[in-house]
Amino acid sequence: MSDRAVEVRGLVKRFGDVEAVRGIDLDVEAGETFGFLGPNGAGKSTTISMLCTLLRPDGGDARVAGHDVVRERDDVRRNIGLVFQDPTLDGYLTAEQNLRFHAELYGVPKAIVPERMRMVLEMVGLWERRGSLVQTYSGGMKRRLEIARGLLHAPRVLFLDEPTVGLDPQTRASIWGYIEQLKEQEDITIFVTTHYMDEAEHADRIAIMDQGRIIALDTPEALKASVGKDRVQLQVDDEAAAIAALRERFGLDATIAEGHVTVAVAGGEAFVPRLFAELGVPIRGVSVARPSLDDVFMSYTGTTIRDAEAGGGPDPLMRIMAGRR
């Protein structure tokens, strides 16, 4: 048995004719925080469902906490904690009752339940509200309670599927605070999916998934360094002319992303004066940004994650062409 928390080889899942996950490989070391990044519909949730034994793979192997997700389903289940995108709490029960049921379903020894319950509830700041019906909770409180519940049975691997989606920035930040705190307190591996690029920075390593495949896998720093270029965005009236001029005068391939002409350039600041001097197309504004995970995503897929979710960006053709490059 390896001490890897997650081991995936050639994992495939089809829904009818659609191949949602197209043979992915993945290793997550014990103790790691692993970010799983990609636009909605990339296959992240399908992958996580297979790892959590909720979906049967159509091909390949996956082991979680040392157990096969198909053949040793119950062993996998005992060793994982889950926090789903959608709430899975019983609103008619109190927070305490929800946790108590969870403890019993998982067979947490009775003697340690009160202590453990207090610990997880205090961690997410809900100890005082433990007697309230869950239906009176706000969205953020429910998510925090789900995290507490996912931790109650001390899982070795905690899966968080979009734990911050639909929450306000403050609550999002506090949820990441709990995750960091958790890493210090427990010997736990965290597998988290998100489509917020900025959140992925919290992870030790990141896999970027797009259209059912893993297109990049490394530390956030290494991924950003691999891009190496700054992102320059131009506000212009005639975008087509600007793209053509960038190609002619500078030999740069520009795309339209999030409504702006976007181009990747090494040394972005020094490029701006040349741009104004030589482009020959009126410019209304320019912004320069250091490479972010967004740029990583863009350099691999030719589109930003937000445009990918909007359905292929302003020009779907551009995405297809970029994908073939």
Partner 1 sequence: MAATETRPAAAAPVQVVIPPAGWRADLRGIKVVWQRELIRFWRDRLRIVTSLLQPLIFLFVLGGGLAQIASAGTEGVDLRTFMFPGALAMAVFFTAMFSAASVVWDREYGFLREMLVAPVRRGSIVLGKCIGGATVASFQGLLVMALAPLVHVPYSAVMVLEVLALQLLLAFMMTAFGVMFAVRVTQMQAFMALMQMVVTPMLFISGALFPLSGLPRWLAVLNRLDPLTYAVNPLREAVFSHLTLTPAARAALLPGITWFGWQVPIALQVGVVVAFAAAMLSVAIVQFRRA
Residues in contact with partner 1 by CB under 8 A are: 52-54, 74-75, 77-80, 82, 84, 86-93, 97, 101-102, 104-109, 112, 115-116, 119, 153-156, 184-187
| Cβ distance to partner 1 smaller for residue 15 or 101 | 101
| Cβ distance to partner 1 smaller for residue 29 or 75 | 75
Q: Rounded to the nearest whole angstrom, what is the least distance from the CB of residue 138 to partner 1 in the complex?
A: 16
Q: Rounded to the nearest whole angstrom, what is the least distance from the CB of residue 208 to partner 1 in the complex?
A: 26
Q: Rounded to the nearest whole angstrom, what is the least distance from the CB of residue 321 to partner 1 in the complex?
A: 39
Q: Give the Cα separation of 211 and 199 in Å (integer).
A: 21
| Cβ distance to partner 1 smaller for residue 97 or 171 | 97
Query: ∠ CA 71-87-156 to the nearest 5 degrees?
Result: 40
Q: Give the Cα separation of 248 and 242 in Å (integer).
A: 10
Q: Rounded to the nearest whole angstrom, what is the least distance from the CB of residue 317 to partner 1 in the complex?
A: 37
| Cβ distance to partner 1 smaller for residue 94 or 226 | 94
Q: Rounded to the nearest whole angstrom, what is the least distance from the CB of residue 298 to partner 1 in the complex?
A: 34
| Cβ distance to partner 1 smaller for residue 91 or 280 | 91
